[in-house]
Chain A
Amino acid sequence: MDYKTLIEKYFAGTTTLEEEKRLKAYFNSQEVVEKELEKYIPLFRFLDAEKSRSLPAGFERRLDAELSVPQARRFRLNPIRVAAAAAIFALALIAGTLVYREISPAPEAPVATIDWSKYEPKTKEEALQITRNALMKVSEGLNRGVRILEKGD
């Protein structure tokens, strides 16, 4: 197949990889290119030159330095994880405080002690007297109530 037909196939997108390599070799060689195909020389030389692009010297040295860094030193804090950990810690702290309060006995408040024994009657007579006094108080109260009712009529 001649190069003119090949170049038409190339721009139609129907060339094989082998045919494309033939075209590149043709346009990058020192042999004389057909007059009407000369305009394509720069394009194929450009494609060939682009394939020779490579990383600058020193890249591998930088890469080696990066690869020799232990992984642990490359650890970076994730802000979301830090926030989540802080929230969990705060919740645990609150829950712990509540549980501690629940299980620990509350300190006893000071209670005033009253000596009730001094109010206890010592004899039967004294008990009878106290009862009488109490009944008298009740009776007085009832009588006062009756009087108030009578006045109201």
Chain B
Amino acid sequence: MSLTYFKQHILPVKDKLYRLALRILSDDAEAQDVVQEVLVKAWRQQDAWPAIRNVEAWCMKLVKNQAIDKIRSGKQRRGYLEAESLPGLADHEPTPLAAAEYSDTMAHLLKLMQQLPEKQRLVMHLRDIEEMSYQEIVELLDLPMNQVKVNLFRARNAVRSLYLQTENHGL
């Protein structure tokens, strides 16, 4: 029963958890460790499952807290995300040269996003990549609604402005 519940309700969100951990930590191995720790913790807390209203939100919160704790404890490695690891990234492009240029552009955008202040980066990630509602973001990040909206506005405009600036003046 519990294994079935775990496989049907908790395990399917593992990639979403991984992307959140990756956005916070910027390190692939660290992000995988955090997701594994959280899933093991969730498995061990089977008694708590019936009382949890939204198991996906619960797991997301565990990942957020664990990843931020890791940063604050100074134990995280300083890695960097690789845009090249994205599946089907350059599928749109007709030639190898265009595909390489496209990969560079994606890597640049990734770098710009990772350089945003933490709140802006997380709000933009949750809204523009995970497509979460404002209310869900408020509950996950423990931020007031107006702070979520302000951070989203600033993040989108910072990425656009920095991206267009480098596009116009060359990378």
Pairwise interchain contact B19-A50, C-beta atoms closer than 8 A: yes
Contact B157 A11 (CB under 8 A): yes
Q: Which of A39-47, A89-97, A125-133, A141-149 contacts its partner?
A: A39-47
Residue of A with least CB distance to B31: A55
Complex CA gap A43/B167 in Å reads 12
Of the residues B40, B86, B133, B157, contact of A50 by C-beta under 8 Å? B86
List the B side residues contacting A49 at CB < 8 Å: 86, 88-89, 106
B149 at the interface (CB under 8 A from A): yes
Which of A11, A42, A71 has a CB less than 8 Å from the CB of B163? A42
Q: Cβ of A63 and Cβ of B36 under 8 Å apart?
A: yes
Interface code A7-29, partner B: CB below 8 Å = 1, 0 otherwise? 00011110001001100000000
Contact: B160 with A43, CB < 8 Å?
Answer: yes
- Range for the number of chain B residues in contact with chain A: 35 or more
How many A-B pairs have beta carbons closer than 8 Å: the answer is: 83
Q: Is the CB of B129 within 8 A of A10?
A: no
User: Given A13-B149, A21-B131, A43-B160, is A55 in contact with B106 using a C-beta cutoff of 8 Å?
Assistant: no
- Is the CB–CB distance between B153 and A13 below 8 Å? yes
Known: A11-B157, A20-B131, A47-B129. A53 touches B22 (CB 8 A): yes
Q: What is the bound-complex CA distance between A60 and B88, given in angstroms?
A: 22
Kindly state the separation between the CA atoms of A118 and B63 in the bound complex, as whole angstroms.
98
Question: How far does the alpha carbon of A142 sit from the alpha carbon of B17 in the complex, in Å?
Answer: 111
Let me know if A42 and B105 touch, CB within 8 A.
Answer: yes
Report if B128 contacts A (CB, 8 A): yes
With a CB–CB cut-off of 8 A, which chain B residues contact A63? 36, 39-40
Q: Which of B1-54 contact A (CB under 8 A)?
A: 11, 14-15, 18-19, 22, 32, 35-36, 39-40, 43-44
Q: Taking the complex as formed, is B92 at the interface, i.e. its CB lies under 8 A from any CB of chain A?
A: yes
Query: Does A59 lie within 8 Å of B167, measured CB to CB?
Result: no
A113 at the interface (CB under 8 A from B): no
- Measured as residues with beta carbon below 8 angstroms from the partner, the interface class of chain A is 20 to 34
Let me know if A35 is at the binding interface, CB within 8 A: no
Q: Given the known A-B contacts A39-B167, A45-B92, A71-B44, are A62 and B36 also in contact in the complex, defined by CB atoms under 8 Å?
A: yes
Residues of B at under 8 Å CB distance from A? Answer: 11, 14-15, 18-19, 22, 32, 35-36, 39-40, 43-44, 85-89, 92, 102, 105-106, 109-110, 125, 127-131, 133, 149, 152-153, 156-157, 159-160, 163-164, 167
